[in-house]
Structure 1
Amino acid sequence: MVIRGKEEEYPDALVVEEAVEEGWISVKDVTGKKRLEEYGIDKGEVEEISLALDLKSREVLMDQSHARFAAEVMGLVPKGTVYLLLKALRKEILNFDDYLKCLEILVSRGFRMSDDVYIEAVRLGKKLVEEGK
């Protein structure tokens, strides 16, 4: 994926490549993908669920509702991007302004989030800050 991303000049590809080289991200072969094809989910999501099962992980990071359903059927606990941002806010990796900016950037770049989810994300972020995380 990094090779193709570099060929297509995606800036994230260089970040991922560096993270792999530094040991932040590891590359693994995935098994057991066939049983997930019936859910009609993307290849990357199939591989993520399969890898989580291979590694005996509990949580997976995914936002697509049908992929989240497949993960739940397989006994996993799906977490979304907003969850990850809230976790970064709680651990003070992000401050509240940066958290809001991340939400805005996601939406401006086509991340699908209902108004209700956006409002709840802001409310939860504010609550974390007010409670001292």
Structure 2
Amino acid sequence: MPNIVLFSGSSHQDLSQRVADRLGLELGKVVTKKFSNQETSVEIGESVRGEDVYIIQSGCGEINDNLMELLIMINACKIASSSRVTAVIPCFPYARQDKKDKSRAPISAKLVANMLSVAGADHIITMDLHASQIQGKHCRVEELYHC
């Protein structure tokens, strides 16, 4: 049975640490930095081969940077042969753009879900979606509700 490895993106490290403490886990080692041209670089600092990986990254604040960092982290773990990657995204990026409200308007929330799936996410856990129809191509989305 695979072990759980929990990683934090840079968007909300305090939340990630609280989750890790609550679960009795240590946060996995990950180094994120920016190249001089502002591209995001991610290095997973431990083996995730055969492991069940959870990555906590919020879609608030610097939304585009946080989303790109999450996509790269997911892909890095998938390429490193993790058995499953779950993206824990308390605030789903572009969730308000969940339907076509004008002609030629994109459905950006669906695009984000598909990008997460293509990056290698097997499962997405999020909260209080604007609309529940957001699903990736081959990725299960689980929505939690705030009480």
Q: Say yes or no: TM over 0.5.
A: no
The structure whose residues are more often strand, as a share, is 2
Shorter-chain TM band:
0.3 to 0.5
Task: State which structure, 1 or 2, has the greater radius of gyration over its C-alpha atoms.
Answer: 1
TM-score, normalised with respect to structure 2: 0.32
The structure whose residues are more often helix, as a share, is 1
